[in-house]
């Protein structure tokens, strides 16, 4: 799905096209940050994420979703099989920048929509705080569970 976007750049409104996975989440914001081009998200997870977004009734800023095995092994102790690495049908995890009352509301709503893994990073500057959500379930990632960073 392609939708028109408008963003402000040095006072100019720039029109463009963004390839969307769901109504509110684009390929660009979900793909691996290393530049490899890996962008495979699990569509069942994306449907859940979109439903969470609609219940939250506010934008959700994704700080990390897909990570290729190589990138994940550089940025996470979870190595080449961490929760952000694509499974058979894509990545089933996202980190969302959020804090305070909205962070607690996100956890409540995420659980209601079937999120089974919740990681909490709620220390330090509010702008860097995040909640990890995922729907993994395998020998290395037993669910439901919750952890902190
Ligand atoms: Zn990568």
- Report pLDDT digits (tens) over 46-61: 999 999 999 999 999 9
Better-scored residue on pLDDT, 5 or 8? 5
What's the pLDDT at 1? 66
- Measured in residues, the chain has a length of 149
Q: Give the mean model confidence (pLDDT) for residues 76-80.
A: 95
Number of other CB atoms surrounding residue 23 within 10 Å: 10
Ligand 1 centroid – CA 62 distance (Å): 16
Cα 36 to ligand 1 centre (Å): 4
Distance of CA 57 from the midpoint of ligand 1 (Å): 31
Residue with more model confidence, 18 or 147: 147
Strands (E), the chain: 2-9, 12-19, 61-64, 93-97, 117-121, 130-134, 145-148
The arithmetic mean of pLDDT across residues 126-148, rounded, is 96
Q: In angstroms, what is the span from residue 40 Cα to ligand 1's centroid?
A: 11
The tokens 């509010």 sit on which residue?
Answer: 126
What does the pLDDT read at residue 17?
Answer: 78
Question: Residue 54 corresponds to which tokens in the numbers above?
Answer: 């609609």
Q: How far is the CA of 17 from the centre of ligand 1 (A)?
A: 23
Give me ligand 1 centre to Cα 101, in Å. Answer: 33
Would you place residue 100 in the very low, low, confident or very high pLDDT band (cuts 50, 70, 90)?
Answer: very high
pLDDT tens digit sequence for 104-130: 999 999 999 999 999 999 999 999 999
pLDDT tens per residue, range 6-47: 666 655 666 677 899 999 999 999 999 999 999 999 999 999
pLDDT for position 101: 98
């Amino acid at each position: 799905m392609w939708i028109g976007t408008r963003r402000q750049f040095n006072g100019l409104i720039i029109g463009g096209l963004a390839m969307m996975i769901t109504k509110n989440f684009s390929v660009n914001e979900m793909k691996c940050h290393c530049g490899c081009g890996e962008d495979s998200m699990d569509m069942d997870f994306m449907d859940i994420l979109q439903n969470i977004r609609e219940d939250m009734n506010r934008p959700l800023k994704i700080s990390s979703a897909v990570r290729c095995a190589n990138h994940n092994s550089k940025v996470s102790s979870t190595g080449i099989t961490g929760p952000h690495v694509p499974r058979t049908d894509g990545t089933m995890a996202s980190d969302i920048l959020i804090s305070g009352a909205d962070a607690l509301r996100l956890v409540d709503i995420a659980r209601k929509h079937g999120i089974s893994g919740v990681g909490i990073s709620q220390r330090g500057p509010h702008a860097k705080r995040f909640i990890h959500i995922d729907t993994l379930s395998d020998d290395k990632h037993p669910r439901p569970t919750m952890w902190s960073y």
